[in-house]
A and B are shown apart, each in its own frame.
Chain A
Amino acid sequence: MRKAIIKATESLGKALPLILGTILFVSLLTTVVPESFYTRFFNKNIVFDSFIGSIIGSISAGTPIISYILGGEMLKQGISLIAITTFLVTWVTVGFIQIPAESITLGRKFAIWRNLSAFFLSIIVAFTTVLILNIV
């Protein structure tokens, strides 16, 4: 057990500057970018908006609850549910800001492919979800 404790402490200790650096970066972005920033990029075209939703979700960071609150507000402003769904999904599944941290710990190839596939999957997930929602 002693070995397990030392190993776990060492692993987390090595990751600590990375974790603190990422939180500092996320804090800076969250403070700089106002909530109204997100709504000005959509233009009622479903395909275009779904890409924009994915891009904004990918570069955003924070707890998922913020994405649902922002998404709910966007919905009230008339933005399509497909675009909002891509935004919600990529908010957590794609981490543009976290790619350096992910690359260092899990490998660059994995980080790039995981984020890239999650980006495109978000569009498929959004279209499928809204399609089923309209049928059910």
Chain B
Amino acid sequence: MLQFKKISGTWFFFIFIVTLYLLLFFVNPNLCISSLVFFRQILIKIIPIFLLVWFLMVIANYFITPKFVFKYFDKKSANKWFFAIIGGILSEGPIYIWYPLLADLKKKGLDYGFIACFLYNRAIKLPILPAAIYYFGWKYILILAIIMIMASIGQGIIINRIIKE
């Protein structure tokens, strides 16, 4: 029982998904293999991003102390939103790869509203602009991006009001 308690929630989730794959292998081996091939493709793509996130976390741990976070993100200025918006737009890779870094920043005193703002702005991605403009036109994409940036600040304010600590 003591050993069972030592297993964290993250490992339970991983074991659950692996079990799902094992069951799928017996039910539909082709589907299981196709999914694993897709998994391998994603994994190869995210390894460089994973390294980038690790590097950013090292930098964050070295430079960003709770004092630093309070200095830049607790002031009543537009800068805090600006950092969250630019950070969200420039961040790459899947959303879940950023959770550890954001959790780390949260521990250092960053408000939930800025984390929400950062995550919302991840929808605006510079590398996908060519395809997005091809399908929807530059006017639509420009308007959508501006509205989404405004919505991200709105969401941040809502989250800050709901989750008061």
Interface flags for A38-81 (1: CB within 8 Å of B; 0: not) read: 00000000000000000000000001110011011001000001
User: Are A133 and B62 interface neighbours, CB within 8 A?
Assistant: no
What A residues does B90 contact at CB under 8 A?
A: none
User: Are A69 and B135 interface neighbours, CB within 8 A?
Assistant: yes
Q: DSSP class of B's interface residues: helix, strand, loop or mixed?
A: helix
Known: A4-B61, A28-B21, A133-B143. A92 touches B13 (CB 8 A): no
Interface range on chain A (Cβ under 8 Å from partner)? 35 or more
User: Are A133 and B159 interface neighbours, CB within 8 A?
Assistant: no
Q: DSSP class of A's interface residues: helix, strand, loop or mixed?
A: helix
Inter-chain CA distance A91–B123, complex, in Å, is 8
User: Are B139 and A136 interface neighbours, CB within 8 A?
Assistant: yes
Known: A92-B95, A92-B123, A104-B9. A28 touches B35 (CB 8 A): yes
Inter-chain CA distance A69–B133, complex, in Å, is 11
User: Are B99 and A101 interface neighbours, CB within 8 A?
Assistant: yes
Known: A32-B31, A68-B132. A18 touches B14 (CB 8 A): yes
Known: A1-B62, A14-B8, A98-B96. A109 touches B163 (CB 8 A): yes
User: Are B103 and A105 interface neighbours, CB within 8 A?
Assistant: yes
B residues 43-100 in Cβ contact with A at 8 Å: 43, 46, 50, 53-54, 57-62, 94-97, 99-100
B residues 97-149 in Cβ contact with A at 8 Å: 97, 99-104, 106, 112, 115-116, 119-120, 122-123, 125, 127-128, 131-132, 134-136, 139-140, 143-144, 147-148
Inter-chain CA distance A122–B127, complex, in Å, is 22
User: Are A121 and B154 interface neighbours, CB within 8 A?
Assistant: yes
Does A11 sit at the interface, judged by CB under 8 A?
yes
Interface range on chain B (Cβ under 8 Å from partner)? 35 or more
Contact of B42 among A27, A117, A128 (CB under 8 A): A27
What A residues does B13 contact at CB under 8 A?
A: 17-18, 21, 100-101, 104
Known: A101-B99, A113-B163. A24 touches B18 (CB 8 A): yes
Closest to A135 in B: B143
User: Are A3 and B61 interface neighbours, CB within 8 A?
Assistant: yes
What A residues does B60 contact at CB under 8 A?
A: 8
**Interface of B with A (CB < 8 Å)?**
8-11, 13-14, 16-18, 20-21, 24, 31, 34-36, 38-39, 42-43, 46, 50, 53-54, 57-62, 94-97, 99-104, 106, 112, 115-116, 119-120, 122-123, 125, 127-128, 131-132, 134-136, 139-140, 143-144, 147-148, 151, 154-155, 158-159, 162-163
**Interface of A with B (CB < 8 Å)?**
1, 3-5, 7-9, 11-12, 14-15, 17-28, 30-32, 63-65, 68-69, 71-72, 75, 81, 85, 88-89, 91-93, 95, 98, 100-102, 104-107, 109-110, 113-114, 117-118, 121, 124-125, 128-129, 132-133, 136
